[in-house]
Structure 1
Amino acid sequence: MKTIIEPFRIKSVEPLTMTTELERESFLKKANYNLFALKSDDVLIDMLTDSGTSAMSTKQWAGIQLGDESYAGSPSFYRFESALKELAPFKHIIPTHQGRAAEKILFSLVGGPGKVIPNNTHFDTTRANVEATTTEALDLVRQEGLDPRLEHPFKGNMDLARLRDLLETRTDDVPLVMLTITNNSGGGQPVSMENIRETKKLCEEFGKPLFLDACRFAENAYFIKLREPGYADKTPKAIVQEIFSYADGMTMSAKKDALVNMGGWLALNDDELAMSARNMLILTEGFPTYGGLSGRDLEAMAVGLEEVVEEDYLNYRIRSTEYLGNALDKLGIPIMKPVGGHAVYIDARAMLPHINPLNYPGQSLAIEMYRVGGIRACEIGTVMFGKQADGKEFPAAMDLVRMAIPRRVYTQSHIDYCIECLDLVNQKKASLTGLNITWEPPMLRHFTAHFNPL
């Protein structure tokens, strides 16, 4: 069968608020043209992020009733730990309230002046947590990953030649190597098993641990099944297990591929590092068997880890995202190819070539998408990753707009509506203008900056 249907039924619904274009223009002005500042009640289709926005299953809601809220030694923790070790058998599992808390603990322990942490591409909070320790966050994605129009099955791959060069010239400065799967900042592009394996070999050669930023590990595994020779007959679970067999540790936002609304963890094999991490966890998150989470959260994560590697779910997830991307491509809207797992990334720089990158074409496009159809998306470009040096700003490598699709939330009708709205935006793209930033914080400016249309 070519038709892909949702492998679930809907038992509960949440009403959406319909608004007019005139009302949305007023909301934009009040929000200083920053979509993060909009009230979610004023958003019709929310594609700002897929993080923490999943719909939980009946089994997850049932698991919540089993949540044990003991301060220490809760059975809910051990159920979560067992479910995770079935996929990723690290020695030490340290729960946190979300992924950035795991990043904060890890980089606070291994970072410092003069150090550098390479990654295929650091995402925003990852980069911020690395740089907050005065460590350099270095992106080493393969060159193919920087060309939105190029068709390549694994555009998230680490550039092994550049990684080798770094490890040879700055060995003592590198505390660990990271791989982000899938590569969110680079268009949700997957990393091949071969690349993970070869990255691990390089790490072993130079005595460096390999860490995974594994927020979308199941989606990455399914891309390996679809695209990498030798994996077509393997189950997603088996592929996930192989991925984690090459890692020495991981940070995780459970709000993605654990299918929950809150949670995360830091997983480690190093005993000494784990001891230090648990001590910091107690200071900032909580006792090591709850780590800033309730027993209910731990139970829901345990079930989510079982459900996310189900092949029917992953087939639906990848194919439904592809459906949106292919439709936009047919409309002549430039997108990051091939379509990623959790989102469709529009190449705003190619779509709006008349807008200078320093006037933020991605933000301009995202604003127009909201104005026309009440769709909230996320700029991943010069607003988020523009470089500041010597009082000047330099554009990011790409200006993208991410339409992140919450898991198990929207139906095909919602996606078809988005396609119709993007068609309208595309027809009027020549009239769009750029923006200036009128106020910004010292870091992570995309969350709170104020804009003014030119």
Structure 2
Amino acid sequence: MSEPVFRTIIEPFRIHSVEPIRMTTAEERRAHLAAASYNLFQLHADDVLIDLLTDSGTGAMSRDQWAAIQRGDESYAGSPSYFTFRDAVRELFDFEHVIPVHQGRAAERILMSVLGGPGKAVPNNTHFDTTRANVEATGAEAVDLVVPEGKDPASLHPFKGNMDLAALDALLAARGADVPCVFVTITNNSGGGQPVSLANLRGVRELCDQYGKPLFLDACRFAENAWFIREREEGQAGRDVADIVRDIAALADGMTMSAKKDPMGNIGGWLALDDPDLAQECRNVLILTEGFPTYGGLAGRDLEALAQGLKEAVQHDYLRYRITSTAYLGDALQKAGIPVLEPTGGHAVYIDARALLPHVDPLHYPGQSVAVALYELGGVRTCEIGTVMFGRRPDGTERPAAMDLVRLAVPRRTYTQSHIDYVIEVCERLAERAHRLPGYRISEEPKALRHFTARFEPLT
């Protein structure tokens, strides 16, 4: 007898402790927005009802992770907690050198400070914001080479995060001496949380071997990517996710990791690689900026929590719930006539703000307009992934990003279905008044990563 299929998505856990959400009024939220110069990063978290700004470090840790924290050993050098952490990483990613850092951007900065530099070019399917900033901070060029389908919000290609192999081949042929390494981001966050296929990764590996270039993974959402491979790629159905992850890792020479994503941490990350000389150079930078190589800016208790989180990240019941519940939100918004990037990604739903607000010029930031309106209407905090984040070029000029999206990133094991149903209602209210939403201008901005601290003003 086959297993019955039910419509209701149930969380594969029970709630053990809770934290309160402070309810606010629309009038209060309008005042909070004005005080924050319409930048949602500048809001106080206490003034947010449902926080979908990011899934980075915002998830709920498990009972077993909290228990692991009690085993944390805080020795400055040679802590046993480091070796627990290292072995958990190697169980999935068999790299010789595992270097802990306080979060993923530190791993990017360390690696790029060694490999980057003026005149160099670092290809990626799509760089995310901190990756791009750390590449460009060295004077190197961050080159995005995602497949054409990855730039089309309506495309239903199952692996829209794939690297454009022909474009990568052309870049390596033309500028091979300028390329210190090749990166692939799994899943492709800037492109809508879209996965990369195992076949595509093998193709990237072949090109890296042909041109003698190391391949690095930005592997923050490795488990979600592996689940999509299991569900969508020919020949991968029914496989254990952990084995797919090992296959992915075997194709690379190293990785950067923000462990605040799939490894279920509230803080932490690592840089892992096989090259002993490169590892030594990276450790030298680590000691200058992060800490001793067996703690790298983390407490022993953080290392223990991440070791346990890595085990939980590849559990099938969890991943099935994770991907299905995100798709539940995406499907509901589509049914309501709200344009979203298809198919739904693993960690987030991305509203196509450019399609929803055709009256707002991309250089007037339709994504920012949608994000501000979602908070004002219902206290839902989201994140613009578009021209605010990616429109300014290294030379200071500005042009529209490939897409103007608003990311609704779902923290892991944090919200219930009723919370998501509330978000759906807020989005429906937004769609009713989308034609009246204004554009925005930036009144003040920093030189790098402007979306974090820029000040905005609505256009009238």
- TM-score w.r.t. the length of structure 1 is 0.99
1:194 paired to 2:199: yes
- Tell me whether 426-435 or 383-392 shows the greater mean CA deviation: 383-392
Does 2:272 match 1:267? yes
Q: Are 1:353 and 2:361 counterparts? A: no
1:11 is the counterpart of 2:16: yes
Partner deviation per Cα, 1:15-44 (whole Å, 9 max, x = no partner): 000000000000000000000000000000
Alignment-derived partner of residue 391 in structure 2 = 386
Aligned to 2:320: 315
- Asked if the contact 2:136–2:394 (Cα under 8 Å) also holds between the matched residues in 1, the reply is no
Change (3 A) 1:5 1:294: same
Cα deviation 1:289-309 (Å, max 9, x = unaligned): 000000000000000000000
Matches within 5 A, 1:78-89: 78-89=83-94
Is 1:286 the counterpart of 2:291 in the alignment?
yes
**RMSD between aligned alpha carbons?**
0.8
Q: Aligned residue for 2:52?
A: 47
Aligned to 1:366: 371
- The one-letter amino acid of 1:11's match is H
Pair 1:277 & 2:282 matched: yes
- 1:110-189 alignment to 2 at 5 Å? 110-189=115-194
Distance change in 2, residues 1:390/1:108 (3 Å): closer
Partner amino acid, structure 1, of 2:285: M
Three-state SS of the structure 2 residue aligned to 1:185 is coil
Query: Which of 173, 188, 213 is the equivalent residue of 1:208?
Result: 213
Find runs of 4+ consecutive structure 1 residues off by over 6 angstroms. none
Q: Give the AA of the match of 1:234.
A: R
Report deviation, 1:389. Answer: 7.4
Q: Distance in 1 between matches of 2:293 and 2:267?
A: 17
Given residue 80 of structure 1, which amino acid in structure 2 is its aligned partner? F
Specify the alignment match of 1:326 in structure 2: 331
Give the distance between the partners of 2:268 and 2:156, measured in 1 at CA.
34
1:253 is aligned to: 258
Deviation at 1:393, TM superposition (A): 1.9
1:387 Cα deviation (Å)? Answer: 3.0
Q: Aligned partner of 1:359: which letter?
A: H
Q: Which runs of 5+ in 2 are unaligned?
A: none
Structure 1 residues 150-181: Cα deviation after superposition (integer angstroms, max 9, x where no partner): 11100000000000001111111000000000
CA contact (8 A) 2:217 2:252 kept: yes
Ranges in structure 1 where 5+ consecutive residues have no aligned partner: none
Count of residue pairs the alignment pairs up: 454
Instruction: Report the Cα distance in structure 1 between the residues aligned to 2:245 and 2:21, rounded to whole angstroms.
Output: 36
Distance 1:409 1:388 in 2: 36
SS of the residue corresponding to residue 330 of structure 2 reads helix
**In the TM superposition, what is the alpha-carbon distance from 1:392 to its structure 2 partner?**
4.2
1:170 counterpart SS class: helix
In structure 2, distance between residues paired with 1:192 and 1:58? 33
Q: How does 1:82-101 map to 2 (within 5 A)?
A: 82-101=87-106
Following the alignment from structure 1 to structure 2, what is the Cα–Cα distance between the partners of residues 435 and 117? 32
Cα drift, residue 443 of structure 1 = 1.1
Matching residue of 1:406: 411
Q: Secondary structure at the match of 2:188?
A: coil
Shift of the 415–117 alpha-carbon distance from structure 1 to 2, 3 Å rule, reads: same
Q: Distance in 2 between matches of 1:286 and 1:451?
A: 37
Give 2:223's aligned residue. Answer: 218
Deviations 1:388-447 (A, max 9, x none): 477642110100000000000000000000000100000011110101111011111100
Letter in 2 for 1:243: I
Change (3 A) 1:22 1:117: same
Instruction: Select between 384-393 and 152-161 the one with higher mean Cα deviation.
Output: 384-393
Q: Distance in 2 between matches of 1:405 and 1:112?
A: 36
How many angstroms apart in 2 are the aligned matches of 1:245 and 1:392? 40
Q: Following the alignment from structure 2 to structure 1, what is the Cα–Cα distance between the partners of residues 82 and 127? A: 29
Partner Cα distance (1:43, 1:343) in 2: 18
- Structure 2 counterpart SS, 1:83: helix
SS of residue paired to 2:398: strand
Residue type at the aligned position of 1:274? A
**In percent, how many aligned pairs have the same letter?**
66
SS at match of 1:73: coil
Given candidates 226, 229, 238, the residue that maps to 2:234 is 229
Q: What letter matches 2:70 in structure 1? A: Q
Offset, 1:374: 0.1
Counterpart amino acid of residue 201 in structure 1: E
CA shift at 1:377, angstroms?
Answer: 0.1
Cα distance in structure 2, aligned partners of 1:66 and 1:86: 20
Number of the residue aligned with 2:73: 68
Q: 1:371 to 1:229 in 2, by over 3 A?
A: same
Please name the residue that 1:240 is paired with.
245
- 1:39 and 1:146 mapped to 2: Cα distance? 33
Question: Structure 1 CA distance, aligned partners of 2:111 and 2:394?
Answer: 27
Amino acid at match of 1:176: C
C-alpha change, 1:69 and 1:94, in structure 2 (3 Å) is same
Which of 433, 445, 451 is equivalent to 2:450? 445
Mapped partners of 1:332, 1:389: distance in 2: 37
Say if 1:389 and 1:406 are closer, same or farther in 2 by CA, change over 3 A: closer
Shift in Å, 1:233: 1.6
Deviations along 1:343-396, one digit per CA (max 9) or x if unpaired, are 000000000000000000000000000000000000000000003477642110
Aligned partners of 2:395 and 2:115: how far apart in 1? 28
Q: Aligned AA for 2:349? A: V
